[in-house]
Amino acid sequence: MKYITSLIGLLFCLGSCSTDGNDNEQETTAIHQAEKLPLLKRSNSIGIIRGFNPTNPPATIDSINTRWQEALASGMRVGRLQIDWPELEPQKSTFDTEILENQLTEAMDNGLQSFLLISAYDSEGPVLPTDLEGLPLNSFQVITRFKALMDWVIPMLVEHKGYAISISNEADVNFEDLPNLNKELLDFVKEIKAHIHSINPQMAVTVTFAEGSLTKFPEQASEIIAACDVACFNFYGAESTATPPYNKNLNENEIKADIQQMLQIAGAKNVLIQELGMHTDMERLNSSEEIQRKFFEVFFGTMQRENRIRAAYVFQLVDWSEEATELFRAFFTDDATSIDFFESYAASLKSLGMLTYEDGTQRPAWNEFLKWLSIFN
């Protein structure tokens, strides 16, 4: 299921790495180190993403803050951050390091190890600095500049107890329309991963796939995941391809089958779940708060038995506001099909949280999340 979160990215670097035997040997050693997620202190780690609303009602703010502290007290030890490349490099070779350092410091001060998403290619397309727009991911210019970005991002991430970085989010949803994109992404991953490992061989590098697109592009996904240190997915409990969109909710057997599909396509690699979510909209999308709670119960129960699923992040703590949801209307056309899709998409976002937007009321999924925090502790 596709949810547009924030950044846009896919990273590739063409032909700028040395290929002599020593470099190959070093990279092989780095791969074996990073694949084991050595910087992640615990297995069965689960966390939450607070949300992206520009503003929340006062009662909701109070509830968000209270629930966040409750999660920390219950043993939450991982966090997830995401930021766009253009935010970090507003002008060519001029970096805003403070914006990322502040977020990493806040996470570390909360006792959280960070999984960072800097997506150069997102579900909506490339997210590049203005002067690089229009260039392919595997162009020398894009790769060289992203490497320069990593030169200061990775040491900062390690210093603040980060353990993994994803450099692309759901680029796979565009593979059908852009048949060369998977090759660009593969090249990009190989180059950027090698460079990151030269900075710190223990930092895990990955790209994030939409679980719902795996059946369409299994070969491309397998090849790209094989080039990553770990596999990473976004996983939701409803199908975006249903009619109407997001109206088909997964039952328990389907949830388990989709998890097995992710594990199978990951090969022997460890797995991270960047986004884990289920909406509760009843009127348009035929869901409920109990369906949402059950989705988390089934997933976390399976995660407990599958030791390769190392971390998962619930998307998200509070529903999207009308204001936040409307920001995505520009991505949809005015024809009836597109409008219908947007309305279903908006309904899912506005009922996706474990807390309601209006007043921060807890849904049953919140206590389910706390239960599994305690179990995993």
Confidence of residue 1 (pLDDT cuts 50, 70, 90): very low
Q: What mean pLDDT comes out for the span 93-122?
A: 97
Least confident stretch, 20-24, 47-51, 155-159, 282-286: 20-24
In tens, the pLDDT along 317-370 reads: 999 999 999 988 888 888 888 888 899 999 999 999 999 999 999 999 999 999
| Vertex 370 angle, CA 366 and 374, to 5° | 170
Residue 271 has, within 13 A of its CA and on its CB side, a CA count of 26
Question: Per-domain residue ranges for the chain?
Answer: 1-41+77-229, 43-75+234-377
In tens, the pLDDT along 200-241 reads: 999 999 999 999 989 999 999 999 999 999 999 999 999 887
Computed on alpha carbons and rounded to an integer, the radius of gyration of the chain in Å comes to 20
Which residue would you say has higher pLDDT here, 331 or 37? 37
Could you tell me the CATH superfamily of domain 1-41+77-229?
Glycosidases (3.20.20.80)
In tens, the pLDDT along 126-163 reads: 999 999 999 999 999 999 999 999 999 999 999 999 99
| Vertex 120 angle, CA 14 and 16, to 5° | 15
Phi and psi at residue 73, in whole multiples of 5°?
-70, -25
| Cα 221 to Cα 224: distance, rounded to the nearest angstrom | 5
Exposure b/e, 27-43, CB count within 10 A at least 16 = b: beebbebbebbebbeee
- pTM, two decimals, is 0.91
- The total number of residues written for the chain in this structure: 377
Q: What mean pLDDT comes out for the span 10-30?
A: 40
pLDDT of residue 184: 98
User: How far are the Cα atoms of 9, 86, 206, 369 from residue 166, in angstroms, in the given order?
Assistant: 9, 16, 5, 24
**Which residues touch 174 (CB under 8 Å, ≥6 apart)?**
123, 125, 181
% of the chain beyond a pLDDT of 70: 92
